[in-house]
Amino acid sequence: MARLSQNAEEILESLWVMTVEGDNVGCLLTSLNLNRDTEELVELIQRSYVEIKGDRVYLRREGRPDAQMTVRRHRLAERLTMDILGISGDEGNEQACEFEHLLRQGVDTKLCTLLNHPTTCPHGNPIPPGECCIKARQQGEPGIVALTELKSGESGEIAYLSASDDKKMQKLMSMGVLPGSQLLLVQKFPSYIFKVGQSQFAVDDTLAREIHVRRPV
């Protein structure tokens, strides 16, 4: 079967986010800037990936695997462009959108392994796991997670920071929160309290999501 067009993949991605991860059962055509005759929508209907009822489009069971993997590729691309390449903001989003379409089967696995199987994107949204992630967890390989995903008393090595602006990055660095440092999460509520070396710090949920820790084997 021919590969889906990029615009068709983006429709699947939007449907997954708005219906599977969101509260919508179906999406208004107008909310997706589509009409019944949109070429990419027809492409998806012909594969039985989506269906239209009234003024809404619905993601069918047949389309869920491709939609899920499209979301996975996009969020892995975000990790690469924003965290590793340091491209943030609108430019980071644009680069991630372009790069995700290059992450076809096999390439996304290599990137995911390189990134050590991250579970969330830089915005805190879940990255659907691939077979490589499941295998790594079964074999006890360490994974990289946001600080918010650690349990109280759990420790790990700081893998990278994804602070959304320079002030936040400077604040974290001034705390000694640097890649390669060991971190121990003391408590999660009402704020996140953690130790780096002999120093103890408290951060809110937003900043905690921007500290990414490599769990030990």
Are 132 and 78 members of one domain? yes
Tell me the pLDDT tens digit for each residue of 117-131.
Answer: 888 888 888 999 999
Which of left, alpha, beta for 152 (phi over 0: left; psi -120 to 50: alpha)?
A: beta
Query: Of 18, 11, 21, which Cα lies nearest the Cα of 50?
Result: 11
Q: Residue 80 — pLDDT band, cuts 50, 70, 90?
A: confident
Of 106, 138, 170, at which residue does a domain stop? 138
Report the CATH number at residue 166. Answer: 2.30.30.90
Which residues constitute the domain of residue 151? 144-214
149 versus 33: the higher-pLDDT residue is 33
* Mean of pLDDT values over 196-211: 90
Bridge partner list, 187: 193
DSSP assignment string, 43-72: HHHHTTSEEEETTEEEE-GGGHHHHHHHHH
pLDDT of residue 94: 82
- Compute the distance between CA of residue 1 and CA of residue 115 in angstroms, rounded to an integer: 30
Cα–chain center distance at 77: 8
Are 11 and 49 members of one domain? yes
Tokens matching residue 16: 């997954």
Are 204 and 154 members of one domain? yes
Are 206 and 154 members of one domain? yes
Report the CATH number at residue 40. Answer: 1.10.10
Of 14, 40, 65, at which residue does a domain stop? 65
Number of separate domains in the chain = 3
Query: Of 174, 146, 175, 149, which Cα lies nearest the Cα of 161?
Result: 146
Tell me the pLDDT tens digit for each residue of 1-10.
Answer: 678 999 999 9
pLDDT of residue 142: 60
Are 188 and 165 members of one domain? yes
**Before 129, cis peptide (omega within 30)?**
no
Does residue 1 lie in a domain region? no
pTM for the structure as a whole: 0.68
CB-CB contact of 160 with 133 (8 Å): no
